[in-house]
Structure 1
């Protein structure tokens, strides 16, 4: 058995909204916290520039250093503060200094908020310790004992604000707004009323603040240390999630659950809107140069908006988070053989295609094709969600199940089949089946042995007690050739719910779990071949998997909530059983290994032919695993562990974090590849696109063309005609914000404009071929001339003949 210290977990992506993000002072970079790491994104291209690692605990806040460009502070939940500097060359980003706040009792409580006030070389930190409410401290020096500003303050990323104009801190208590001066002993308290304040923000140049409350009202407060003057701005119907002033303070931006960014022009008493931004807004961030506004959405997507023309100019997106489902990612992880990425739930009604090899989102497919239904203040509204996903072995067909149940009207179930159009390179809707089953569908899966897109078959099973086999039918007419999906056959057993299904690798058998009974059916005729059960196995079967290799082809593994069983098809009996409380199971398509995850957060690697554990990974995660998948490698592993040779194991946990479980030896190579890809984007990206790096800043024209070829080795110095004009045309006509990776673009671009390298052997071979072709062509020409001359001679001979020979023949025949 392999020891657990030989493996390690690598974070690929997760929620980026554990604290409010920050735009650096140069407006080039966006900072977002991913647990203890800091993700640095380019605000121009949306690419991940770098990941900063200096904390060992969860980060709870950022703050800029106002008098220095691209320098900032970060604070974690245990009071460690790091001073960072993003230099002109982002590759050299480094940790300037570390502080450890003194006298923080973080064993029972956590530092929820960290807001910083910087004055020249001295820094004053305002830190809140607690959960929803707690103590608010002021640190004039990190090593000195702090001053308690409030013992019962409301804490959160936007519940405490600093006024840099008057050096005062504003925070909330129960139904009161507190204003405390940091330079004097002045303090004021104002009653906020029954409407709870959800966020507070200070004006950048005046002694005034803005607050948003639970009914969607924005209130501007003036004359805070005396009797306050209030101005009400009301458009939102849902609670105001966050707000931000422009750098000049003349404009205020607010957002919330309506997915609309509202721009309040305070000097003109006007407002304008930017609707349909995606998912509900959680944070609104502005920069110091009045160039960009960034909205952070609940699904961890960032929308970049131009402050000048108030239009969408780009987005930053990793793995999209699930916000409406009770159980995140109900469709699990599915490997797409065409794009070499994984398919999982995206925003509501969508599935996302995520490239795990290059750590980027490819695109999202709108499956439900419905507008997002915004929640109401006191009523929960339900959107259509993608519950199941399956893809054919060749990647040409995609099956999705859309489900909606508002517990008031009839439920909606749609089984949708998508076909991949190789010409347009996009998924097109082929068939939508309304109510394919009468109850919730538990599983959809394709036949693994489909050799072409016209022979693909799919199996679905449901709580209505039936499983159905779907096949591609010809739907052609006189106008065009087309196909559609239809139900070929239906199976049921004792009116029990069909909880899971799987198809044998050769496509000959179907295994369907009816409650706790495992049934075997023929795929072609849909006849019941046998049943497998034991009286003490009462739990419903959740997953079924066939053995994938020859030595395990006769085995079936079934998983229930408390049992893991191996069944032998040759003997039609239970081969082995293991008592384990599990959450999910995955099978490697390229080897004989399977993995099961327990509720105690352990992982067990095994082969279906035996109940012996090949590898046990203990406590691999601090959260339970929701789904897992083996993804084939692009290159073979250098590890000698066996189970990681052909595929990589990816998981998603309850915290919606995508993780890779790998041996440490492999992780070093993976991290090196990821770092190499990231470093390609580590450059000055202001006002540029990836195409612009292909054009030199200084162009040289009228250069003599060298027509000679380099013999004996590859000729790299080839001449490219009109390449400058071609590049300039691309730059002029492209209106791009985010493109594919620069390495891919450069590789494909060079293939188009650069001729292949030529060697002496290639030249000699080409000359021999040309000589042979010329010789054959001359022989054909001579042969054609000879045939033509012969025909001409025969024709002249016939014209000059007196037909005497013909008359003699005819006379002989008559006699």
Structure 2
């Protein structure tokens, strides 16, 4: 089983102590990447739910100190783990019994320095937890709370530090002196005591604002805190926590208000200034390592660098996606920025040039507000190479390898600059790839403005010399007048395709291209043209599919299936009615069956027999997708489960059913998560030995997490819940770092297991060259010297040959 597709940007990444590794929260695992090569090194597997926080233990002493690759992780499974991520080994478990949304460890620096006093050795974690069952009378539902946990003794400290309506993200200063959260329109800040935390009675400092706050950051050394709000404003409080008091005429202490520009009410700060450039919610704030600048980012995809003293700003534009996190490294020349499109860019500081990118599978393009009942676009799948073609928000198609879990390439489909702030008016609504991957078709739609100006374009692409490389062959504007394209299918073995439309017709397209070799380049002459047009009673055509040999074309006319001769455009037969409008069609290999499922208020899954034009078997199911093998009679169905099913509360809202088309009883069944918008496809296995070259079934859920498995393997008949993020890759050449014994004494000599004897547990094994083996083995297991001496001396002496005297 191969799993992947998890988001790389659900939480802020963390650099290792030397800046050579980057630790990412990827689902229920922690993925460790090399900052030199951008490749995956290893994974920390142990949590059962999504990992939310990573805290790397800093180095005690000089850079390069051994035994420094340790980290703490927190997860929604209510567990906090302590890891050695160089091995990787799980060293300690702490159960806090509530889902942890955020975690910081203020005194981890002092504890790592190895101070002699016992108080400094205890590690205390500030955690933001969620308790969905908690109810408070006469107060809005409170689900979040800030608590303190003693990691050394695995005990809870005192009660609750603060309560929030939802779990909030914790922020911490570099020195560990301050911990804070944003709570609606205010900041709550606590000063962490130096001594052992025996209770949660710490003084809380509040700073107020008129708008809802979205993030905060502490200055590395000064009492300065910055916060961003949902309107794009940045507030800088200076000198917080230094409130001065004076006596009034009656001898009572009162707050010395003095001259505090910009400070609201009795907030404990010397001044507050406001900066504004962003037009959307601030996603991150971070002070620079030189302590003179502040970085900010939002939806615009621009990193703004503010000068603290003057408020002047510079920009790093054209990141290409809304920003989420900005993380600095112990190496001052390296930082990284996390983007909403599931990419992390490593930046060379201070120029902020992108030197390396870590890319995951792009998030789905949601169309619920644009195209009615169609919530997701149709993604393409190359069965021969095992990669998918995914439309993205920036008018491109991402080619992603499911077998390797790597980003292959990106193709610009719509010639338009992407601005994350602009409203979506143009999008790629459909992608279809031929079975052999040699051809691709895309449909793009431009929404009308004020009822005019809409446009639909059908584009055909030809594969280049490399996988995932396509060149544009033909553009057809308004292929079906003003109606939308409902489906596209390629004919196996021919340069032929069919497109169906809601206007009541379908068109068969053929490619008459010829290729001319001009030096090293191959130029295409000609292109795709419409060969024929067909319709059935002007009923909207909703789906299409070719048979395995390409001799039959099936087109769904809402509830009916029409069978055509694609070469002569002749209607051959009509198959009966389904319960609702047919959404997808698929021929089952070279058999006489065709499968369909309908959408709408009345849904069903039907297998039709083409030879007698009748129903073979059917189910009343809410189906999301189907796929069939080309050479066998296996079919796979992705169905949504009924909302009345109690087990849906676990998140398993769908199921994958595998049938042999001759039998209506499923061969195998798996329960899956996030089935809405999911896809299924059989692909060829390029890994060879894993499944002996058999077909693999790929399930891609609504959030583009995927699982590849052999549907005929009984050992894999379990819930398809992705847990691991990627298949680990090997170290790059410059990443072979020595640890433990090897880092001190060097590598041990290699041992050839093929030469091992069955009597390896015996310290002395007689042989023809005994002087090479008599002293081998552990010293405590060797025989006494009295037994070794005689064989050793005999081995050094040359034995005299015996002479035989014959009597006469």
TM-score, normalising length: structure 2: 0.74
Three-state SS of the structure 1 residue aligned to 2:377 is coil
Q: Residue 437 of structure 2 aligns with which residue?
A: 395
Matched, 1:444 2:436: no
Q: Residue 116 of structure 1 aligns with which residue?
A: 105
Post-superposition CA distance 1:260-300 (Å, at most 9, x none): 11122335643221111121111111112212221111121
Matched, 1:362 2:357: no
Separation in 2, partners of 1:351, 1:504: 27
Assess, with a 3 A threshold, how the Cα gap between structure 1 residues 676 and 314 changes in structure 2: closer, same or farther.
Answer: closer
Separation in 1, partners of 2:103, 2:93: 15
Post-superposition CA distance 1:303-324 (Å, at most 9, x none): 1111133211121002122255
Q: Residue 627 of structure 2 aligns with which residue?
A: 586
The question of whether the paired residues in 2 share the 8 Å contact of 1:329 and 1:344 is answered with no
The question of whether the paired residues in 1 share the 8 Å contact of 2:399 and 2:468 is answered with no
Q: Residue 281 of structure 1 aligns with which residue?
A: 323
1:637 Cα deviation (Å)?
A: 6.6
Matched, 1:417 2:460: yes
714, 735, 738: which is aligned to 1:684? 735
Assess, with a 3 A threshold, how the Cα gap between structure 1 residues 394 and 170 changes in structure 2: closer, same or farther.
Answer: closer
Three-state SS of the structure 2 residue aligned to 1:258 is coil
Q: Residue 521 of structure 1 aligns with which residue?
A: 564
Q: Following superposition of structure 1 onto structure 2, how do residues 486-525 of structure 1 map, counting pairs within 5 Å?
A: 486-525=529-568
Three-state SS of the structure 2 residue aligned to 1:678 is coil
The question of whether the paired residues in 2 share the 8 Å contact of 1:587 and 1:594 is answered with yes
Q: Following superposition of structure 1 onto structure 2, how do residues 59-458 of structure 1 map, counting pairs within 5 Å?
A: 59-68=51-60, 69-87=68-86, 92-101=87-96, 104=97, 106=98, 110-117=99-106, 118=108, 119-120=110-111, 121-130=121-130, 134-141=144-151, 142-152=154-164, 155-157=167-169, 160-165=170-175, 167-183=177-193, 187-225=203-241, 226=243, 227-228=268-269, 229-267=271-309, 269-322=311-364, 324-326=366-368, 330-335=377-382, 337=384, 339-375=385-421, 381-405=423-447, 408-409=450-451, 410-422=453-465, 426-437=469-480, 438-450=482-494, 456-458=495-497
Separation in 2, partners of 1:360, 1:570: 44
The question of whether the paired residues in 1 share the 8 Å contact of 2:548 and 2:630 is answered with no
Decide which structure has greater helix share: 1
Matched, 1:604 2:645: no
Three-state SS of the structure 2 residue aligned to 1:259 is coil
The question of whether the paired residues in 1 share the 8 Å contact of 2:533 and 2:569 is answered with yes
Three-state SS of the structure 1 residue aligned to 2:155 is coil
The question of whether the paired residues in 1 share the 8 Å contact of 2:212 and 2:229 is answered with yes
| Range with bigger deviation, 367-376 or 318-327 | 318-327
Separation in 1, partners of 2:454, 2:670: 41
The question of whether the paired residues in 2 share the 8 Å contact of 1:80 and 1:98 is answered with yes
Post-superposition CA distance 1:66-106 (Å, at most 9, x none): 3454322110124311112233xxxx2222322222xx5x3
The question of whether the paired residues in 2 share the 8 Å contact of 1:165 and 1:206 is answered with no
The question of whether the paired residues in 1 share the 8 Å contact of 2:275 and 2:311 is answered with no
1:427 Cα deviation (Å)?
A: 1.9
Separation in 1, partners of 2:714, 2:53: 31
483, 489, 497: which is aligned to 2:526? 483
The question of whether the paired residues in 2 share the 8 Å contact of 1:199 and 1:243 is answered with yes
Post-superposition CA distance 1:638-692 (Å, at most 9, x none): 76xxxx9631011111233122233376899xx9x99996134486279xxxxxx
Gaps of 5+ in 2: 61-67, 112-120, 133-141, 195-200, 244-267, 369-373, 642-653, 738-808
1:498 Cα deviation (Å)?
A: 0.7
1:429 Cα deviation (Å)?
A: 1.5
Q: Residue 502 of structure 2 aligns with which residue?
A: 463
682, 686, 697: which is aligned to 1:649? 697
The question of whether the paired residues in 2 share the 8 Å contact of 1:335 and 1:629 is answered with no
Separation in 2, partners of 1:364, 1:261: 23
The question of whether the paired residues in 1 share the 8 Å contact of 2:640 and 2:675 is answered with no
Post-superposition CA distance 1:377-427 (Å, at most 9, x none): xxxx11532222222344332211112336744433211111233399942
Q: Residue 16 of structure 1 aligns with which residue?
A: 8
Q: Residue 559 of structure 1 aligns with which residue?
A: 597
Q: Residue 707 of structure 1 aligns with which residue?
A: none
The question of whether the paired residues in 1 share the 8 Å contact of 2:7 and 2:360 is answered with no
Separation in 2, partners of 1:466, 1:416: 18
The question of whether the paired residues in 2 share the 8 Å contact of 1:154 and 1:173 is answered with no
Q: Residue 3 of structure 1 aligns with which residue?
A: none
Q: Following superposition of structure 1 onto structure 2, how do residues 720-731 of structure 1 map, counting pairs within 5 Å?
A: none
Separation in 1, partners of 2:515, 2:70: 64
Matched, 1:617 2:612: no
Matched, 1:532 2:583: no
The question of whether the paired residues in 1 share the 8 Å contact of 2:548 and 2:589 is answered with yes
The question of whether the paired residues in 2 share the 8 Å contact of 1:153 and 1:171 is answered with no
1:20 Cα deviation (Å)?
A: 1.8
Separation in 2, partners of 1:176, 1:635: 54
Three-state SS of the structure 2 residue aligned to 1:619 is strand
Post-superposition CA distance 1:493-535 (Å, at most 9, x none): 122111100112222221000110111111012121121113x
Three-state SS of the structure 2 residue aligned to 1:389 is strand
Three-state SS of the structure 2 residue aligned to 1:18 is coil
Separation in 1, partners of 2:14, 2:383: 35
Assess, with a 3 A threshold, how the Cα gap between structure 1 residues 491 and 318 changes in structure 2: closer, same or farther.
Answer: same
Three-state SS of the structure 2 residue aligned to 1:144 is strand
Separation in 1, partners of 2:77, 2:728: 32
The question of whether the paired residues in 1 share the 8 Å contact of 2:44 and 2:85 is answered with no
1:629 Cα deviation (Å)?
A: 0.7
Separation in 1, partners of 2:144, 2:128: 7
The question of whether the paired residues in 1 share the 8 Å contact of 2:168 and 2:183 is answered with no
Separation in 1, partners of 2:311, 2:290: 16
Separation in 1, partners of 2:435, 2:21: 41
Post-superposition CA distance 1:580-630 (Å, at most 9, x none): 22111011234221101121222221233x243351213244644610111
1:469 Cα deviation (Å)?
A: 0.8
Separation in 2, partners of 1:275, 1:664: 52
Three-state SS of the structure 2 residue aligned to 1:240 is coil
Three-state SS of the structure 2 residue aligned to 1:371 is coil
Separation in 2, partners of 1:341, 1:602: 23
Assess, with a 3 A threshold, how the Cα gap between structure 1 residues 212 and 632 changes in structure 2: closer, same or farther.
Answer: same
TM-score, normalising length: structure 1: 0.73
Gaps of 5+ in 1: 1-8, 451-455, 687-815
RMSD of Structure 2 on Structure 1 (CA): 3.1
